[in-house]
Structure 1
Amino acid sequence: MENAKNNTMIQSLQVGMSIIDLIAIQENPLKFTEIQELTSITKSNLYKYLNTLTHLGLLERDKKNGTYSLGSKMIEYGMAAIGNQDIISKVTPYLQEISLHTSFSALFAVWTNDGPVIANIWSSNNGLNIGANIGTRLPIQSSSGKIFSVFNPPNLTKEWKDKELAVLTDKERTYLLNDEGLIEENFISFAKEPLVPYVSSLSTPIFNYNKELIGAITVVGFSQLISQDLNDDLSQYLLSMSNQVSKRFGYKRPV
């Protein structure tokens, strides 16, 4: 890969961005050898570039098959660029209120082509490790993942959902699919320790005026303190707050 030399630019940065551009336009993740063949960058230099870009979160390496794809930081930047930042700014005060009221962590997740990711987190408990950060992709078994699986149009979620279900056991898959009816009926989902031990969550959907899902608000805390009951005070509080947020985006929940 040739890069025009320009004393007013940083050539190594140009090379790094050209690697990101290359991976971004591919239909599938690329292996090291494929990137090397397409760029003609020496193996030693390419290793350094890929290692740096992966460390920064701009690329992500699949440890199982060694392929590279865009990382969580690129998703975070993309969300800001396409306007999700405005949605996030409107939701953030509610995350703060929920966290202060419950003493748990509150997060907001949005949909991307690779599945749901965390767009913002607010925590009044700095000692709680929820096992995720802004930009983290969430699995279908998480309470947020269940919300997107149920309320997003099937054409958006089919590829992601098929991929997620494929790695589950028959028991896990059956439980998850049976749970979807209750989630659709009650507008709330629960997950017991989906990411890290001893940490559980509950989530509710956020809709806009077109009744389209724009995100999910999730409360995360220690398992013994997080209810898995629809009638619990915490569940009812989160449902009330999510209804307030949806109203701000013009949504009117059917009576």
Structure 2
Amino acid sequence: MNLPNRNSTRAGIQSVEVGFALLAALGEAPGPLMLKDLARAAGMSGAKAHRYLVSFQRLRLVVQDLASTRYDLGPAALKLGLASLERLDAVKLARERAAALVEAMGHTVALAVWGNRGPTIVHWEESPGAVTVNLRLGDVMPLLSSATGRCFAAYAPQEAIAPMVAEELESARKQRRADVPRTQAQVRELLRDVRERRAARVVDTLLPGIVGFCVPVFDADAHMALGVVALGPSGAFDSSWGGAVERPLQAAARQLSADLGFRG
């Protein structure tokens, strides 16, 4: 038996919900809007929109430029937005959605943040059929041989990670590894590719037989707040770009970024 959604059946004030469409349209617009354009974006008549805008101006949620007559979000809207952003916890928000992402992809999901020693795993959500992976909460990921590390390295200030990169390059040269960069030029090319794809991938690089994707989540200041990681066995894991794993992973990261205030 399917129970109705409590939020959908709970009584509310319809006029508030209708009026909010105007605020949402202003929030999504690249700049101030004329009344006719704002009304069209909110799906209502100009006269109806104007009545709501009069009230919103009194509340300072909306302001109107007298010279151009265009409407824009006001100081009260900004204050509410900033208060909301200050209370957002990126990891908490991502953890709440990790189980659904595991179900959608059928693979283990991890969350990572930049810690004192580098990209650090802070949450682990295993899929029911997960293979054993020798990673634990608190593990710090290498920058060049892990998808997580590559993703963070692509968006970190390069001077901040330079010593770590140099150390890993030296280790790769000594081990004569062909699956990771061995020169600074190769590192720059790799990180450029990560930024272009907005994703990092490794296949049998960090762990034998394991494929990993990592996508970045950005905050309102366009800083990488965390990495969302998908891991799975190479035989049952779609490692293709835009495939069955990367596509939902990217969609989840985009939604998280938007919810954190990122407008890039």
TM-score bracket for this pair, using the shorter chain length: 0.5 to 0.7
CA 1:221–1:181: 2 relative to 1, 3 Å: same
What is the CA-CA distance between 1:91 and the residue it aligns to? 1.0
- Aligned with residue 242 of structure 1, among 230, 237, 253: 253
In the alignment, does 2:172 pair up with 1:168? yes
TM superposition shift of 1:180 = 1.9
1:60-99 correspondence to structure 2 within 5 Å:
86-99=89-102
Q: Measured at CA, do residues 119 and 112 of structure 1 come closer, stay the same or move farther in structure 2, by a change above 3 Å?
A: same
Q: In the aligned structure 2, how far is the partner of 1:127 from the partner of 1:150?
A: 28
The runs of 5 or more residues in structure 2 that have no matched partner are 1-85
**Is the contact between residue 109 and residue 228 of structure 2 (CA under 8 Å) also seen in structure 1?**
yes
Distance 2:140 2:129 in 1: 21
1:180 to 177, 188, 191: 191
CA displacement at 1:191 relative to structure 2 = 0.6
Aligned partners of 1:235, 1:107: CA distance in 2, in Å?
14
* Residue 80 (structure 1) aligns with: none
SS at match of 2:151: helix
Q: 2:107, 2:130 within 8 Å by CA — same for their partners in 1?
A: no
The one-letter amino acid paired with 1:207 is: F
**Residue 148 in structure 1 maps to residue 152 in structure 2:** yes
Give the direction of change, closer, same or farther, for the CA distance of 1:222–1:176 in structure 2 (3 Å limit). farther
Give CA deviations for 1:89-125 in whole Å, capped at 9, x if unaligned: 1110222111111111000111123111101011123
Superposed CA RMSD in Å reads: 2.1
Give structure 1 regions of 4+ aligned residues with deviation exceeding 4 angstroms. Answer: 174-177
Q: Deviations over 1:45-101 (max 9, x none)?
A: xxxxxxxxxxxxxxxxxxxxxxxxxxxxxxxxxxxxxx9x94321110222111111
What TM-score, normalized by structure 2, do the two folds share?
A: 0.59
Q: Determine the structure 1 residue equivalent to 2:208.
A: 197
Instruction: Tell which deviates more after alignment, 226-235 or 211-220.
Output: 226-235
CA distance, structure 2, for counterparts of residue 176 and residue 95 of structure 1: 30
Give the distance between the partners of 2:229 and 2:215, measured in 1 at CA. Answer: 7
Q: 1:139 aligns with which of 135, 142, 148?
A: 142
2:110 maps to 107
Q: Match for residue 6 of structure 2? A: none
1:248 Cα shift? 1.4
Larger Rg: 2
Do 2:90 and 2:226's aligned partners in 1 also have CA atoms closer than 8 Å?
no
Q: 1:120 maps to which residue?
A: 123
Aligned residues: 170
Cα distance in 2 for residues equivalent to 1:125 and 1:167: 36
| Residue 176 of structure 1, CA deviation | 4.9
Determine if contact 1:114/1:160 at 8 Å carries over to the other structure: no
The farther-off stretch of 144-153 and 126-135 is: 126-135
Tell whether the 8 Å contact from 1:201 to 1:226 is kept in structure 2 after alignment: no
